[in-house]
Amino acid sequence: MYSLKEKVLYRGSSSQNFYEYIDQMRQRIRKQMEGDEAFLTLAQKALVGDQDAVQTCLKQIERQMREYPFSGQIPEEFRGMDMTAALFHEWIGYSVITPWLLDRRFATSSKMQVVGTSISYAHQGEYRPYPYPFTSIERVEQLQRSLIRHDPRVRLDISHPSAELKINDPLWPGRFIRIAMFVPKRVWDGFNTITFRRQIVEHLTIEEQAGTGLISPEAVPLFKDLVLTSPCFICSGPVESGKSTFAQTLIAEQLKQSEISLGLPIIEQHPESTLPYTEFAKRHRIMPIQAAAEELMDVAVQLLRHDPDFVFMSEMRWAEWNVYNFIGEKGYRNLIGTYHTKDAEDIPYQGAYAVYAQMGGNLKGHLMATLKSCEIVAILEPQRHGKKKLVRLSEIQYDPDAEHQVKAHDLIRWDPERERWLYSAQISDALWQRMIRANKDAAERFRNRLIKLSELYPNPSPYVPSRKCQVVLEGND
């Protein structure tokens, strides 16, 4: 014998449409909410996961179902839920993307993108059509309003048509999902865009990076010694190239090898680093710093009073370059940043231009500051099936007397035709002197191994000049 609740929540077999029922329920509840301020507040809290508010909303749904029974079937996207939960997720939750957020089948899917009512998700690193589209653009807009409530500092409207934030990942406790959104006027009407990026990998060692194919096993000792020489390092590449994970791998290697307690400020606008939660981090002074763009220079001045041994700057865009150059000009080593570009030789120009566009002044002066702060660049690229690969490890060389004053010397370069990495050991004297001052033994091991690899797998043309830097240095500011 059914109880009343079981009878109400029974999954029926009639042709009653689930989404039509939701629309009618939404209209009835909206009328009540307009006259019930307390319930409106609870509904808003439910959007961000407040359990008391969620329970109140679920009870409201059950009351609606008692008064207006639903006898249809639950849509495929909500299978595995009871009717109350399905109605909640479509009415006030994440709608048809709920499976991607909650279902273990999608736990290894690293990203999802909504454009208009269409949805794509990553399967083995590549976008595929998602099986459940949104029913209307209005439901997408509602989802965007719901997501914004996770961070009260973020605005998304006609005056602020783009936004970035993060939410906790329901499938991976302790991790998060980064979200970027566009609304009109940034995009056309009806093309509201939401991109979700899931943090799946917490930490990889250098050996594990080699196991994934990002670097060669023969290069593992090179990177272990390189980090001990305290270079100023940029990990660069497009989205999903693995640059942030690789940067954290290099930092973690130095933390693990250190016999002293190192100070590491991590500067991020949108916190994503997992380093503070690693086991070996307990022996060190890791300071996760969250700062808006307009706060970054003040933070840079302040953090230097906290005895940093190296500084990690995630997601360098515009204002971050000013901080990176400021710290580098002070003579600090061990700067590590992540950036979006594929051209190692032009990174100094791009960093200098970012500061020039923000601060004005003299572009050539900013370029000289960037050249001092940018010594080694790793270029990474995404591959098929979610793989990543280091395609270049370059020393940025500056010689005012050379024909090409700024060039990238590729110490390591991936050759796609031969399907292997090539090497060159022609380290500049300026970088070599800085390396041996930091750690002579590690520097000599690094160079000796690089010489052996370059003899086995030589790179016949390791230099790539920067024409943009050349134009600036010749005085065409």
Span 429-459, pLDDT tens digits: 999 999 999 999 999 999 999 999 999 999 9
What are 308-325's pLDDT values in tens digits?
998 998 888 888 899 999
| Size of the chain, expressed as the number of residues it contains | 477
pLDDT at residue 407 above 90? yes
**Residue 81 has what pLDDT?**
86
pLDDT at res. 151: 84
Q: What's the mean pLDDT in 279-289?
A: 88
Please, what is the angle between helix 37-47 and helix 18-34, to 10°? 130
Amino acid 43: pLDDT: 67
How many percent of the chain have pLDDT more than 70?
92
CA distance 322 to 317: 10
Least confident of 172-176, 201-205, 353-357, 464-468: 201-205
Q: How many angstroms separate the CA atoms of 339 and 317, rounded? A: 7
Q: How far is CA 17 from CA 13, 24, 201, 382, in A?
A: 11, 11, 40, 43
Q: How far apart are CA 275 and CA 291, in angstroms?
A: 18
Query: How many angstroms separate the CA atoms of 254 and 21, rounded?
Result: 58
| CA proximity to 223, closest of 185, 190, 187, 252 | 252
pLDDT for the residue numbered 196 = 95
Strand partners, 180: 164, 195
Task: Kindly list the structural domains of the chain, giving each domain's residue range(s) and its CATH number in brackets, ordered by start.
Answer: 1-91 (no CATH), 94-200 (3.30.450.90), 206-473 (3.40.50.300)
Q: What is the pLDDT of residues 24-66, one digit of tens each?
A: 888 887 776 655 566 656 766 776 667 888 888 888 888 888 9
Give the rounded percent of residues in the chain with a pLDDT score beyond 90.
52
Compute the distance between CA of residue 94 and CA of residue 89 in angstroms, rounded to an integer. Answer: 6
What average pLDDT does range 193-213 have in this prediction? 87
